[in-house]
Structures are given as structure tokens and as C-alpha cells.
Amino acid sequence: MKAPPRLQALVEEGLIDSVVRQLMSGKEAMVFVVRCGDEVRCAKIYKEATNRSFRQAVDYTENRKVKNSRQARAMAKGTKFGRQAQEAAWQSAEVDALYRLAAAGVRVPTPYNFLEGVLLMELVVDAQGDAAPRLNDVQFTEQDALRHHATLIAEVVRMLCAGVIHGDLSEFNILLAADGPVIIDLPQAVDAAGNNHAQRMLLRDVANLADFFGKFAPALLTTDYGPEIWSLYVAGVLSNDYPLTGRFERSSAPVDMGAVLREIDDARAEDAARRLRMQTTA
């Protein structure tokens, strides 16, 4: 097929020889199957972000670094330049996460290049060599559900040990390759140590896995892998080979509401000081 305009730059650079077909089109990106020499890969073309709420953007992009204070101010104000900078940061976050996780041995598509808003990466295939399906398009036996769930929990741990939380992990952004699940769609990935919403996002990611695979293996619905993993991470003892149990004993000690409110007040004061610095520095 004829190369779409957004892929023409990669053709001219010699990174793509031809476009085979469109693989999918979602609210955030279009994906094409492309040929690069003797290899078949995929090219992800990012769309302009118009379907993400401001609240979600704030949660995911908290503590992400930008090039300068002008960009930071523009992003905070929501100007046209700020939206462009925010979109560029959103795209580069996925690229950075893919390289970081691939280096850590996490099962993600191998990234090859990023140019003009297009991410060139590995095409994940099934046993027949066709594009691998998403988990939500597959039915599982109880045994297979337990096996794939265990694989993905291990990947969540490997990601966390690399300092990354997916942030939106579910059956819709995991592919079932010939050799097992592969995690995709990482523009919302967050830094585990630098985002105040990290714990909530990790717990949600793990709960999504239990809810999906629990339809085929009901025993998974009563597991507590999320709290267990996070407590081990906070304690500094989590590792890729740490034996997990899926159980977690919650503390029955009363919550110190005074301490909680002080933490909230401190966070507000820090945010106000940050906004003041952004206004006074250029």
C-alpha cells in the first residue's frame, strides 16, 4: 500500500522500505505493518491527544522533566505550545519506557527508532507468524489463565524493579505472542519513585490482571499480589526472583489522621511553591 504521509519521512530516511497494511487504529495512535529489509516490523503513528482528561494527564505526567521553564509554564497553562510540548513528552515517555524495560528484560516489543512522532518497533506475532491478538480477544483454560497470570505478575515485578509502573495495564494492552504475553502501550508509564500516584496505579494494574484472568481461574480473584508487591518494594526487598504468595496481611492499627492531613498540607505547600517558582523564572 502507499505510505501514509506520516511514514514518508521514515521511507526517505531508509528506515522503512514499504508499508504492508494498517494493523489497527485507536484513539491515541495508528499502527501499520511495515517492511524493513528482510524484517517485518510495526510503525506506531501517534495522534494528537484529545481524549485524555486533564486529571489523567496530571496524574501520569507528575514529576516528568521538561526541557525548560517556558515549556513547563506553557504546559501548566494549557496553551497551544504547551499542548504540543505535553504531547511530545507523552510520546517520548513511551519510547523511554520501552528502551528502559527492554534493557531490564521485560517482555515488551523491541524498539528500533523514533522519528517525527512515529515509533518503529518489533511486530509481536503468534505461533502462525500473524500479528498477535490482545488478551481480550482470547479464551483461556483455567490452567493457561493461571500460567499467563503468573508470567505477567513476574513482569510487573520486573518493571517495578526497573523503576517503572505501566499505569494502565489490562487485557487490552497485552498481546499473546507465540511464547507468551507481551506488554504494550506505555505512554502513561510512571516513575515508581517519583510519582505520588504510583502505589494506586500499581494496585490497579495488578487488580486488572486478577479481574481478567479470574474469569477463567476464579481462585485469582481472592489474591492480594498488588499490596504484597508494593509492600516489598517499599521495604526495599523486592527482586525479580522474590517468592510471592499472593497474600497480604493488612495492618489493623488505627490511622493517624493528623499525620495524613499534615502530609496533604505539606504537598499543597510544595505545589504552591513550585507554581511560584515557575512564575518567577523564565
Residue 266 annotated among the catalytic residues of the structure: no
Topology of the domain covering 5-280: Transferase(Phosphotransferase); domain 1 (1.10.510)
Q: Which of 137, 168, 179, 271 is catalytic?
A: 168
Domain ranges of the chain: 5-280
Residue 185 annotated among the catalytic residues of the structure: yes
Question: What backbone phi and psi angles, to 5 degrees, belong to 231?
Answer: -65, -35
> Would you state the pLDDT for residue 25?
87
Closest CA to 243 of 227, 225, 217: 225
Which residues of the chain fall short of a pLDDT of 50? 51-56, 64, 66, 70-77, 81-82, 278, 280-282
Helix (H) or strand (E) holding 107: none
Q: Are 165 and 189 in contact (CB under 8 A)?
A: yes
Closest CA to 190 of 30, 16, 64: 64
Q: Which of 38, 130, 185, 191 is catalytic?
A: 185
- CA pair distance 13, 25, nearest whole angstrom: 24
- CA pair distance 123, 79, nearest whole angstrom: 36
**Number of Cβ within a 10 Å radius of residue 48:** 10
pLDDT tens digit string along 59-115?
555 554 545 554 444 444 455 544 555 565 566 788 999 999 999 999 999 999 998
- CA pair distance 58, 72, nearest whole angstrom: 12
